[in-house]
Amino acid sequence: MEVVFLLCSAMSTFLTSSLLSLALAIRSIPLCFSCLRFDGDRSAAVLLYEGRVRHARRRPVEHAFEYSVRYALIDLDGSPQPSHLSAERAREIAGTNGPVFLLTIPENVGYQQNPLSVYYCYDVEEGKGEEGDGPKPSLKMCIAEVTNTPWGERDMQGNWCMLADAPGENLSLVISVQHPTLGNYFTATLRAKRVLSSSSSIFLEKFFWLMPHKVAVWIYWQAFKLWWKNTKFLDHPKYASSRYKDDAARRDRELRSGNSRQGEDLPTCSANMFPRDRWCQWQEAPWPWS
């Protein structure tokens, strides 16, 4: 039944995206390139990055791949995103008082696909900075928003260690994931370079045209290749236990307290990978792919 829903959703998305793409092409005819800023203006609400994502899976089979990707870094105070955490909620979670930036792939022509979005939470400490400059924000914590594909839930069944630098001209993310049974089985990296900034909604739509769709295609193509390698397909955890969310929440509490079931392989994070101050919340995401 779920396969039928997925196929129907794919067909609906194809039709919707085709119509919206045609509308975008018509609206873009009078697009004036003066609306773009190539001068490195950091006051823009949206900074645009191009780079490459690499995934390396060690278990249950060896499998690695990489692909090109485009991301937006959005000032959440200047451009709220209703489908994500608000700037205030992110500050509350991180315990910060400065700006919050969201790294994500925006919705495009009626479709959204974000395996991972990252919130960069900054703190402003009085007295920091050079004389006359006033306080300067410094990156204190990152929040990872992970969407389980294709089940459409944002969960933390695994334990994530994330190494991130403050986004500038270049952007870097390294993520290592521990699984309750597979151990340290998965690593993902993102290396990207800032290309320009823009406040034009039409240009942003063109810049990310079909980007979410491409990510979905890459995900399912790699899933097919894993299946071809005789990797077992994992059903939704609800089929194993109706209390799967409670089980995930319990495991998160154990990790935060430093306790775990006997024999469970716990992760080891370096000191600068934010191993403490864990926060986890299970959230229903729009089904099936966003």
The residues, any chain, with a CB within 8 Å of residue 144's CB and separated by 6 or more, are 116, 117, 118, 160, 162, 175
The confidence band for 3, taking pLDDT boundaries of 50, 70 and 90, is: low
What mean pLDDT comes out for the span 206-210? Answer: 87
What mean pLDDT comes out for the span 58-74? Answer: 91
Is residue 33 predicted with pLDDT exceeding 60? Answer: no
Q: Rounded to two decimals, what is the model's pTM?
A: 0.75
Lowest mean pLDDT among 21-25, 60-64, 98-102: 21-25
Is residue 266 predicted with pLDDT exceeding 70? Answer: no
The confidence band for 205, taking pLDDT boundaries of 50, 70 and 90, is: confident
Is residue 235 predicted with pLDDT exceeding 80? Answer: no
- Cα separation, 68 vs 208, whole angstroms: 12
- For strand 159-164 and strand 153-154, is the pairing parallel, antiparallel, or unpaired? unpaired
Q: What is the pLDDT of residues 127-184, one digit of tens each?
A: 555 555 667 889 999 998 887 666 556 575 667 788 889 999 999 999 988 877 778 8
Buried b (16+ CB within 10 A) or exposed e, 247-286: ebeebbeebeeeeeeeeeeebebeeebbeeeeeeeeeebe
Give the residue ranges of DSSP H helices in the chain.
2-27, 87-94, 201-207, 211-228, 244-257
Domain locations in the chain? 2-284
Lowest mean pLDDT among 11-20, 58-67, 80-89, 94-103: 11-20
Question: What would the two tokens of residue 74 be?
Answer: 């959005």
Is residue 96 predicted with pLDDT exceeding 90? Answer: yes
Of 119 and 156, the one with more pLDDT: 119
pLDDT of residue 193: 96
What mean pLDDT comes out for the span 28-56? Answer: 66
Is residue 259 predicted with pLDDT exceeding 80? Answer: no
pLDDT of residue 92: 92
Question: What number of CA atoms fall less than 13 Å from residue 218's CA on the CB side?
Answer: 19
Is residue 109 predicted with pLDDT exceeding 90? Answer: no
